[in-house]
Chains A and B, each alone.
Chain A
Amino acid sequence: MSKFEVPVGPQHPALKEPENFTFVVDGEHIVEVRPRIGYNHRGIEKAAESRTYIQNLYLMERICGICSVAHTTCYAQNVEYLYEKEIPPRAEYIRVIINELNRIHSHLLWLGVAGHEIGFDTLFMYVWRDREHVMDIIEAMTGNRVNYAINTIGGVRRDVTSETIAKARKVLDILEERTKYYKRVAAAELSLISRTKGIGILKPNDAVRLCAVGPTLRASAIKSDVRKDDPYSAYEEIPFNAVSYDLCDVFSRILVRVDETFEAINIIRYCLDHLPSGPVRLKLPRNPPAGESVSKVEAPRGEDIHYVRSDGTEKPARYKVRAPTLGNIPAVCDMLTSKADHTVNIGDIPIVLASIDPCFSCTDRAIKFVDPWKEKKWIWSHEQLDRYARRKGKQ
């Protein structure tokens, strides 16, 4: 059969969010992948420049629905670095608890979605039923199931009560038992193994060269975790393991995420046992001092980097977000092309795309300008884009 192009996206049942991947296929083998991102670009970085620092907290939350608290933690940390102040230790521990609960919720969601992508709807239904326990305990702690709004500049907004702590311990026990069951099922279910072993291979040096992040990187035998390499918040004091497997395929990524769920449960237990007393919030002045700052956080999908530049007013002068999925897109394109020693079929597309845990809402920041009709690509600086916008606005 001659080669033809199969477009996946922007609307496609395999993708939960719009992106375009054009596959050049030869029969069932994929020969080339051409990605196009930017369908979910909402102008968040520009919107951040016209809101105060307090208002931006809630804007940053809505960059992504699943890893929302990672973005707010990164933002709050960033601004606290500008102030050069330390927040109270109880607030650090509560931030860690909420971050790890978010990680559990995100990994369980991903496990269900991965099951759905390979047609295993029963796993999908079971995992999402168990995820409800996590959502309920988060709602009891923070007041909402998604978009928790628990972080603020200077600490957290709410304290955890002893009843919530008792409820949380019960929920953690249930979750641990269910996650053990899912690990048993994933390791033993033949149809799942045959769909995921040896699929979506990413060799370690390719992973490093293409700047993969998060569980995608850790499943290729590279133990790189921001919580261990560059500890932030209370992670220096909490003992845990960075999980990594060396099979370099989708099955390895499933194992990495399931094990990270166990680690997260243990971290939360440690934090609940060793919660320091004291205030949860530090009152900070409205305008941070002028300066720049960069902060990194380990979101459930990988390393999330924020940059802020302040000029002393109550609104940031420039805010930049580098979401983890952006780092994984070149890696996924490499995973999806057939190589000399193994071929990739069309049937593998959904599970490989799902295995990097794509969150395209996080990803879409402007990188490069493409004119598809004139087939031109170029990069502009901030001032050039500004001038173009003003010129077009006058017309």
Chain B
Amino acid sequence: MVGEVYRHLFKKRATVLYPFKERELVHVPEGMRGKPSINRDLCIGCGLCGRDCPSGAIEIIQDEKGKRPVFYLDRCLFCGQCEEICPKSAIALTPEFEIASYDRKAMILR
């Protein structure tokens, strides 16, 4: 055990100095479920995403263009059920994960 322990004096550290310095060393694979994005042109306002969301993070509202979803990111589980159920593939989960904010309003995706 002593040999292995002393060998670590010469190894590079396993810690990554994220977020202040080594942001580029943090690898996020594609397909990672991060912030959802919606393509307004493809959305037909069926409301299936709001019905199936496990945490109630999608609210279907009525505006001049018809029904459309509003995402509440502070309730979102990032499960991807909305992406799966959308018949027009209008919702996609991007690999963006740095969505923390001081402002509650920044958590609402219209």
Contacts and interface: CB of A to CB of B under 8 A. Distances in A.
Contact flag (A, B; Cβ within 8 A): yes
Interface of A: 51-52, 54-59, 122, 129, 132, 136, 139-140, 143-144, 147, 149, 152, 157-158, 181, 185, 189
Contact of A58 (B1, B14, B81, B93): B81
B5 interface: yes
B108 to A, nearest CB: 21
Given A55-B52, A58-B54, A140 B80 contact: no
A171 to B, nearest CB: 13
Contact of A129 (B14, B29, B31, B54): B14
Contact of B52 (A54, A144, A189): A54
A181 B81 CA distance: 41
A133 B104 CA distance: 35
Interface string B41-62: 0000000000011110000000
A144 B84 contact: no
Interface residues of B, number: 21
Contacts, number: 47
A148 to B, nearest CB: 10
B14 A51 contact: no
Interface string B18-45: 0000000001110111000000000000
A129 B4 CA distance: 15
Contacts of B84: 152, 157
Contacts of A122: 5
Contacts of A56: 54
11 contacts: A54-B54, A58-B54, A58-B77, A136-B29, A139-B29, A139-B32, A140-B29, A143-B33, A143-B80, A144-B33, A147-B77
B68 to A, nearest CB: 21
Given A144-B78, A149-B79, A51 B32 contact: no
B1 to A, nearest CB: 6
Helix, strand, loop or mixed for chain A's interface?
helix
Interface in B66-82: 77-81
A243 B79 CA distance: 35
A132 B54 CA distance: 29
B12 to A, nearest CB: 12
B14 A55 contact: no
A189 B5 CA distance: 13
B32 A54 contact: no
Contacts of B4: 181
Contacts of A147: 77, 79
A143 B32 contact: yes
Given A129-B14, A143-B32, A185-B1, A157 B54 contact: no
B98 to A, nearest CB: 16
Contacts of B81: 54-55, 58
Contacts of A52: 52
A59 B54 contact: yes
Contacts of B52: 52, 54-55
Chain A CB within 10 Å, residue with most, of B54, B77, B78: B54
Nearest to A152: B84
A136 B29 CA distance: 9
A157 B80 CA distance: 10
B60 to A, nearest CB: 16
A58 B5 CA distance: 42
B95 to A, nearest CB: 9
Interface centre among B14, B31, B78, B80 (most CB of A within 10 A): B31
Nearest to A59: B54
Nearest to B52: A54
Nearest to B95: A143
Contacts of B14: 129, 132
